[in-house]
Amino acid sequence: MNLRNLTIDAARSAVAEGKISATALAESYFAKIESDDPKIGAYLMLSKERALTKAAEVDAQVKKGEKLAPLAGVPVGIKDVLVTKGVRTTAGSKILANYIPPYDCTAVARLESAGAVVLGKLNCDEFAMGSSNENSAYKPVHNPRDLSRVPGGSSGGSAAAVAADMAVTTLGSDTGGSIRQPASFCGVIGLKPTYGRVSRYGLIAFASSLDNIGPFAKTAKDAAIMLRTIAGRDPMDSTSAEVPVPDYVVEIEKPVKGMKIGVAKEYFGEGLEPETRAAIEAAIQKLAKLGCEIVDVSLPHTKYAIPAYYLVATAEASSNLARFDGVRYGHRANSVRSLSDMYRRSRDEGFGPEVKRRIMLGTYALSAGYYDAYYLKAQRVRTLLTNDFIEAFKKVDAIVGPTCPTPAFKLGEKVDDPLAMYLADIYTVTANLAGIPGISIPVGNSKENLPIGMQIFGKHFDEATILRLAHAYEQAA
């Protein structure tokens, strides 16, 4: 059988019907990773023992004729900011170079309980800070569609692994676009759920009021299966919401005819590359052909999203990253003079330049005398942005626009210009500030054959609608 480009259902049925064992399937993915990943760089660590143990468990179930779980035998990859018991977890940082977690992240544990086989840990920007994966302390990731380009970030490894077929599906995290932007750059689907939809127990925190865990997948149905598996209240995370989880796999089959789709002019302004604009406009036309009604909406505070995001995110990062002090685990500086010297030098040696920049910006924004002018003001702007969406969603069921202003840029193109890198997050940070769900789906290619992604925003806790639209678009395209 052809083992390439498998969806979740195809992989699971192949195992269930005995066409291939879960063990052989995992081994075929490891072989693919060993042959292709040296030029892509998606994986930081393989978890072969853990994968083969799980695969053997699934194979034993098949032999006994037991009913298989929805992800039985399905090979998955995990972004390295999600902790995995006994499997090194670095968050892409040198400061956690030797960290072997004593517990599992809830999302990973739920995937494994549903039968998934965890192949390994995926490369990312250090502590998920970045938009190109070039801030990984270990190695860059190359975009499988064009190796001279970035895969996006910070979940670059998670997007590249799905695009290069080195996992059926993967998990990433999205604080300000880190699932949707790399999905768009690599030509796959990436879903950021509503804030609170998925437990963050075991996610190494970057900015706690913005962080989310979500899936990368080849199809909307796969994204639906993944979300159904990881979503829902978890007593280990008090910010996980007590909101019922619908069966997204059933929801996506419902018709989209008559749905009202908002288009905001603020997402089609200066900086949007003409080719990307044309691809998004064509995709909107396709939704109209499917019977959706296209409605103009306004999100007037969008222009303040980047400054608000980079204040809130850095402020929260500066407090979250205070715990990395070289005492319990991670990098510790040698031959130090005192305890405070040990902290200072361990942090100086262990953190990369972008992480240090953010800790400094965030500490500044929170310091006495500046708090009101920066952090508090950013929080107020955040409320205005959220209200923009709430108002717009009184008129429409979903809002569509570009995921990014341009397709994937070249490796090295923006590394020396952090501001240019930040500005490219313009269309993605808004969903995190407002807490709403967003999905990026591939809708076309540029002249240079680079993927272009369309983003669909939904109401709080209404992932079902955006998955449904994604599915309908995919079926029609």
Q: Residue 176 interacts with ligand GLN (CB under 6 A)?
A: yes
Q: At what angle do helices 353-366 and 305-320 cross, to 10 degrees?
A: 100
Q: How far is the CB of 168 from ligand GLN (least distance, A)?
A: 23
Q: Smaller CB distance to ligand GLN: residue 146 or 354?
A: 354
In the complex with ligand GLN, the residue whose CB is nearer, 151 or 176, is 176
Count, residues in the chain: 477
Contacts of 277-282 spanning 24+ positions with Cβ under 8 A: 277/402, 279/443, 279/444, 279/445, 279/446, 279/452, 279/454, 280/400, 280/401, 280/402, 280/443, 280/452, 280/454, 282/443, 282/444
Site string for ligand GLN, 308-327 (x = CB under 6 A): -----x--------------
319 a catalytic residue: no
Match 């205070």 to its residue by tokens: 322
Quickly tell me which residue has 């599992």 as its tokens: 104
Instruction: For residue 154, indicate whether it is catalytic.
Output: yes
Query: Is residue 171 within the footprint of ligand GLN (CB under 6 A)?
Result: no
Instruction: Round to whole Å and give the CA distance between 456 and 191.
Output: 10
Query: Shortest Cβ distance from residue 292 to ligand GLN (Å)?
Result: 29
DSSP code of residue 42: -
Q: How far is the CB of 302 from ligand GLN (least distance, A)?
A: 16
Counting contacts by CB under 6 A, is residue 151 touching ligand GLN? no
Question: What number of chain residues touch ligand GLN (CB under 6 A)?
Answer: 14
Shortest gap between Cβ of 421 and ligand GLN (angstroms)?
Answer: 7
**C-alpha–C-alpha distance, residues 249 and 375, integer Å:** 40
Which of 93, 132, 136, 154 is flagged as catalytic? 154
Question: Given the complex with ligand GLN, which of 358 and 459 has the nearer CB atom?
Answer: 358
Using rule CB under 6 A, residue 425 touches ligand GLN: yes
Interacting residues with ligand GLN between 72 and 131 (CB under 6 A): 128-131
Residue 71 or 213 with smaller CB distance to ligand GLN: 213
* Least gap, CB of 428 to ligand GLN (angstroms): 7
CB closer to ligand GLN, 9 vs 425: 425
Quick check: bond before 21 cis, omega within 30?
A: no
Part in contact with ligand GLN (CB under 6 A); list of ranges 176-184, 320-328, 364-372, 380-388: 176-184
Q: CB under 6 A: which stretch of 36-44, 87-95, 172-180, 299-307 binds ligand GLN?
A: 172-180
Catalytically annotated residue among 131, 136, 155, 178: 178
Q: Please tell me what DSSP assigns to residue 376.
A: I
H or E stretch at 31: helix 22-40
Under rule CB under 6 A, residue 174 binds ligand GLN: yes
Angle between helices 463-476 and 274-289 (to 10 degrees): 90
Distance CA 427, CA 165 (A): 27
Active site (annotated) includes residue 93: no
Question: Which CB sits closer to ligand GLN, 131 or 136?
Answer: 131
Among 77, 144, 177, 182, binds ligand GLN (CB under 6 A): 177
Q: Give me the residue label for tokens 């609170």.
A: 196
**DSSP secondary structure code for residue 205 in this structure:** P
Q: Which is nearer to ligand GLN, 326 or 362 (CB)?
A: 362
In the complex, least distance from residue 132 CB atom to ligand GLN, rounded to whole angstroms: 8
Give the Cα separation of 307 and 3 in Å (integer): 45
Task: Give least dist CB 431 to ligand GLN, A.
Answer: 10
Nearest to 81 by CA among 121, 111, 50, 116: 121
> Which of 93, 106, 154, 403 lies at the binding interface for ligand GLN (CB under 6 A)?
154
- Angle CA(434)–CA(436)–CA(439) in degrees, nearest 5? 130
125: nearest Cα among 162, 99, 90, 98? 90
Distance CA 169, CA 146 (A): 21
Which residues form the interface with ligand GLN (CB under 6 A)?
A: 128-131, 154, 173-178, 206, 313, 425
Enzyme catalytic residues: 79, 154, 178
